[in-house]
Structure 1
Amino acid sequence: MVHISKKYYTIFFFITFLFQVSCQNHGKLDIITDIPSNLDENSGIQMFTSNSLWLIEDNGNKDNIYRINLKGEITRQFEVKNAKNDDWEDLAKDLEGNLYIGDFGNNGNDRKELTIYKLSNPEWEQGDKIEAEKIEFVYPEQKKFPPKKSKLLYDAEAFFHWNNFLYIITKNRTRPYNGKALIYRVPDKKGTYEATLIAEFEVCDNQDTCSITSADISSDGTKIALLTYGYLILITDFKFDDFSKGKKQLIDLGLRTQLEALCFKNDSTLFLSDEKSHLQGGNLYRLDLNKF
């Protein structure tokens, strides 16, 4: 019987692991790193410095924000005071450096009160906790909780900040699926509001790949990116408030994992992340928009 040392077993399994990773198909996305396993349910990302990103997780996880570097290591975290993670679904930031947490996940369309938490720039904070102000809102068009299946339009996982307002793009859960999304607007100041309905538009008709899971706007205000499970909708040549009338480019990312978050690194590059599910995903990616 041939004896193989533990050392060679280790080398063999390491080479096998590298081979498996290299053979994974990431479509049009360039993989940067894997996300820490305790952040498998990451649902929002934003960037403040060139070498790190802030993340949140969604329903059932801690009331925390986390900073990771581009090696996938957690380098800092804060408990968010005056906040509760009912269903945190996206992160946004403004040009002054404030960070916004969208606590508006609403799978069953039965939440009567929704919240966006406004935080100061986390890069400036000390200690292990960070204060939050509440921006509370309702959708005035929703009359029943939940509405009938054909009106399940009031879940949301995507928003961005522009010019003193937060723009929320809803996630469609209608049965039968009709591919529509709503755009709402709320002020970026502490208070309680009725969200203003800006527009209704059709994304596409495939439920598996058309529901919007994250959004961001470039710092120069010329591009809006909407993420779905496998596609990117890039909007240009638009005017506010109804940016849905702009030019839309549908980009097949070539990946069908649970893509949940995106943010602009610069005006031509995006960072994206997906949840870890069924041994797939859990990664941080980069997408160069100049390729399209």
Structure 2
Amino acid sequence: MACGTGIKIRNVNKTFIARGGSVDALRGISLDIGAGEFFCIVGPSGCGKTTLLRILAGLEDSSGGRVIINTANGNGRPLNSMVFQEQSVFPWMTVRNNVAYGLRLRGIGKKERLAVADRYIRMIGLTGFADAYPHQLSGGMKQRVSVARAFANDPEILLMDEPFGALDEQNRILLQQELLRIWEESRKTTVFITHSIDEALCLGDRVMVMTAHPGRIKKIVDIDLPRPRDIAAIRTTLRYNQLFQTIWLTLRDEVLKGKEIELAH
């Protein structure tokens, strides 16, 4: 496993206080995510996947338990970058300035941050659009900008909340492959939420299946598909199909329970 930042989650719970009572979103989450690991999370809607990611990002406090993040230098909270499903580029900034935005906030000089931005713009295949504004880009291109901005900021932890969920199949495959290629170079510790078993298998080192509300860990599956990965090629392998079946059989009952909970409310 790569050197860098590992995550220890110990008995994390989250309860939301709402009018008329309380709602348990997470219950008893305990796991280790290794430094440099690409860790995927799947589960039914409403199981607390995004809540867990927000706790890791420091955007949400847990109601109990601890998150221990071991940084490379052992000092302070690690720098993290978060990529959301919704396009989060700034419409008034060019592609180059969007990608460089995190570096600007960190006080990196203009020449250096634009050089870094241009490097990642090349990596995502948008060199000809560096001076374009978001309204001039397709949805897939905007999400490429979000991914480039996350990596350009050189985070110790990359947190991704269904970043490709709103894209069509062709753009999703292209961006999955681009993400893998960039991740292979940096081996950033990555926590990736998805509803797609296929996406989790194509990207992840391990996949955690969560139960229906309240979210618990049901099973963690090792994804022993070789790297580097060609997404189209691994889908044709026997091992891919075996892993898909394992995860789906684990997840299916939770999806049905989740539907029952939705109907009850």
Normalised to the residue count of structure 1, the TM-score between the two structures is: 0.32
Greater strand share, structure number: 1
Structure with higher Rg: it is 1
Q: Which has the higher contact order (CA 8 A, sep 6+)?
A: 2
